[in-house]
Structure 1
Amino acid sequence: MQKVIIPEEVSISLRKDMERIWDIRQPYWYPLFDCSREDLIAFNSEYIESEEKLKEIITLLKHHGVEQVIEFLETGGTYNLQVSNLYPYYYYNGDFTGSEGFWTSQNMDWIIYASHEGTITFGGEWLINKIKPLWSDWKSNLEWDTKNQ
Structure 2
Amino acid sequence: MEKVAAMHTLVRKYCIEEIEDLKDKLNECYKINSEIIKEIGEKEFIESKDPKLVKLVSETIKARCLEDTINYILIGIEEIIPEDYKSVEELNTKIIKTIESNEIKSKYFKFNRNYTREEEKGIIKILKNQLINYIETVVENQLNSVEPMFHRRTLKLEEIDNIEERIDVKWEIGHFCDPFTGSGREDIIVFNQDFFYDEIRFNKVKEALKKIGEERIYEIRIGCGVSCVMDTSVFTIFNHHYCCCSEGFWCSEKMDWIIYKSHEGTIAIGGEKLLEEVKENIESWKEGVFSFPV
C-alpha separation between the residues in 1 aligned to 2:269 and 2:159?
Answer: 24
Structure 1's unaligned 5+ residue stretches are none
* Larger helix proportion of the pair: 2
C-alpha separation between the residues in 2 aligned to 1:139 and 1:54?
Answer: 15
C-alpha separation between the residues in 1 aligned to 2:161 and 2:188?
Answer: 24
Rate the CA distance shift 1:115–1:90 in 2: closer, same or farther, 3 A: farther
* Relative contact order, higher structure (CA 8 A, sep 6+): 1
Paired residues of 1:114 and 1:121 also in contact (CA < 8 A): yes
Deviation at 1:140, TM superposition (A): 2.7
SS in 1 for 2:163: helix
The match for 2:163 is 14
Equivalent residue in structure 2 for 1:83, among 219, 227, 232 = 232
Alignment of 1:22-41 (within 5 A): 22-28=171-177, 29-31=179-181, 34=183, 37-41=185-189
| Moved >3 Å (runs of 4+) | none
C-alpha separation between the residues in 2 aligned to 1:130 and 1:61?
Answer: 8
C-alpha separation between the residues in 2 aligned to 1:141 and 1:58?
Answer: 17
SS in 2 for 1:121: strand
Q: Which amino acid aligns with 1:121?
A: A
Deviation at 1:133, TM superposition (A): 2.9
The match for 1:97 is 244
Structure 1 length normalisation: TM-score? Answer: 0.83
Greater Rg over alpha carbons, structure: 2
CA-atom RMSD, angstroms? 2.2
Q: Which amino acid aligns with 2:272?
A: E
C-alpha separation between the residues in 1 aligned to 2:211 and 2:154?
Answer: 25
Q: Which amino acid aligns with 1:132?
A: K
The match for 2:10 is none
C-alpha separation between the residues in 2 aligned to 1:137 and 1:55?
Answer: 14
* Larger strand proportion of the pair: 1
SS in 2 for 1:52: helix
C-alpha separation between the residues in 1 aligned to 2:230 and 2:237?
Answer: 12
C-alpha separation between the residues in 2 aligned to 1:7 and 1:89?
Answer: 20
Deviation at 1:104, TM superposition (A): 0.6
Paired residues of 2:225 and 2:245 also in contact (CA < 8 A): no
The match for 1:138 is 285
C-alpha separation between the residues in 2 aligned to 1:89 and 1:76?
Answer: 11
C-alpha separation between the residues in 2 aligned to 1:125 and 1:143?
Answer: 19
Structure 2 length normalisation: TM-score? Answer: 0.44
Q: Is 1:121 the equivalent of 2:268? A: yes
* Identical amino acids, percent of aligned pairs: 30
Aligned residue pairs: how many?
141
Q: 1:95-147 CA deviation, whole Å, 9 max, x = no partner?
A: 142431100111111110111221111000111112223222222322338xx
SS in 2 for 1:95: coil
Alignment of 1:38-117 (within 5 A): 38-74=186-222, 75=224, 77-91=226-240, 95-117=242-264
C-alpha separation between the residues in 1 aligned to 2:290 and 2:158?
Answer: 37
Deviation at 1:76, TM superposition (A): 6.0
Paired residues of 1:109 and 1:124 also in contact (CA < 8 A): yes
